[in-house]
Amino acid sequence: MTPFTEPPKRSDEPIWWALFSAGGVCFAVLMPGSILALALLPALGLTSADSLNYARVSALLYQALYGMAGLAFVGGVICLPLFHTAHRIQHGLHDLKLGGGLLSKICCYGLAAFASAIAIGLLLAGQLQ
Amino acid sequence: MNKTISISRYNPEQDSQPQLQTYQVVSEHSTSVLDALLQVQQQDPSLSLRWSCRMAICGSCGVMINGIPKLGCKTFVRDYPEQLVISPLAHFAVEKDLIVDMSPFLQHLSAVKPYLINAEKSLQPHKQTPAQLAKYQQFANCINCGLCYSACPQFGLNPEFIGPAAITLAQRYNLDSRDQGKAVRMPQLNSKNGVWACTFVGFCSEVCPKKVDPAAAVNQGKVASASDFIISMFTP
Ligand code: FES
């Protein structure tokens, strides 16, 4: 082992870590609320079926707050959690000695970015209609 | 009371790999694992181990006890009524028996410049408020025993990871109001083998005999490194 001579290269990890942390908060806070409001309560008949009718949901998603509410929802419940998941998989692969290098990084974060782009694209397409 | 203990023995000049050997020791209520090892050394002077202070200060008697990194002098034989297996610290190369080569750890430690850096040549004492002291005091309790490196699965996978204790000491000085050396320490923390190699397993903090909580220091280091990253984007 050689002693450190020149300073090592800066890692790009803060970007992924920031997305991971933000995604973790969304996972912990927004996800359970969304599952409760969109899946459990309607399924148990505790909210009226009408509260999730097409007109209301599309208004919330596409028009509320000039479309910002829909963007925040998709960002917080789909995109950021995707990056959180990708980060865990990336580091899990490193732990299992199956990856963790550039290739798995491209696959993990690339997939998260791709799926996020589709989600946001679909949202914007609906908003612009 | 007689107690049977197993010790990992390895002589690189004769053995192809370490082997467990059992010994009988006399164990009383106050017999530490280090005491037991020293009894064995009386029976068999070829047993090699490191120790000095016998009071959890020097940090030299670290060994794996039933697979968990511990200080021999701070661990009691009475707490192991079943089996007691003593082996050298994990993730380091074994030199002989219970002696490991700590130089990777020491190199990582020196890389973060764990001392006060301050160009000011004043003869006046540097005053510090209790609040300023509290920021780093816990991290100053590290005795460099290396148990956290044996506990860290990421150091096991990647010996280039500068590791829990080095990052903790970097934080200890970065948080010290008398220090001006943060800029020269940050490049080590910012690298892929710095704070970013940690996946927050937290076992380092569990095994730390001084309750230093290296995992907390590493996570503070991640926040520091992330803000350093953002600042670097706006400075040429
Ligand atoms: S002998 Fe000094 S710490 Fe155990």
pLDDT at A7: 80
Size of interface A-B (CB pairs under 8 A): 51
- Per-10-residue mean pLDDT of chain A, 129 residues long, equals 70 94 94 92 87 88 88 95 96 89 92 96 89
Domain ranges within chain B, ordered by starting residue: 2-100, 103-234
pLDDT at B129: 97
Minimal C-alpha gap between A34 and chain B (Å):
28
CATH classification of B2-100, choosing from 3.30.70.1400, 3.40.50.10680, 3.10.20.30, 3.90.1720.10? 3.10.20.30
Chain A residues 38-77 with a CB less than 8 Å from chain B: none
Which CA distances in Å does A31 have to A23, A39, A78, B16, B59?
10, 11, 9, 55, 46
Just give the CATH number of B103-234: 1.10.1060.10
Range with the lowest mean pLDDT among A44-48, B75-79, B203-207? A44-48
Q: Could you tell me the domains of chain A? A: 15-31+38-128 (1.20.1300.10)
Q: How far is the CA of B72 from the centre of ligand 1 (A)?
A: 7
Q: What's this model's pTM, rounded to 2 decimal places?
A: 0.89
**Whose alpha carbon is nearest atom 1 of ligand 1?**
B54
The verdict on a CB contact (< 8 Å) between A18 and B226 is yes
**What residues pair up with B159 in beta bridges, in sequence order?**
none
Could you report the per-residue pLDDT of B19-47, keeping only the tens digit for each?
A: 999 999 999 999 999 999 999 999 999 99
Q: How far is the CA of B73 from the centre of ligand 1 (A)?
A: 6
Please report which confidence band the pLDDT of residue B144 belongs to, taking 50, 70 and 90 as the band edges.
very high
Tell me if ipTM is over 0.85: no
The verdict on a CB contact (< 8 Å) between A13 and B199 is no
Task: Please list, residue by residue across B196-230, b when 16 or more beta carbons sit within 10 angstroms of its beta carbon and e when fewer do.
Answer: bbbbeebbbbebbbbebbbbbbbbbbbebbbebbe
pLDDT at A63: 86
Q: How far is the CA of B145 from the centre of ligand 1 (A)?
A: 9
The verdict on a CB contact (< 8 Å) between A95 and B153 is yes
pLDDT at B120: 85
Q: Which residue has the higher pLDDT, A6 or B49?
A: B49
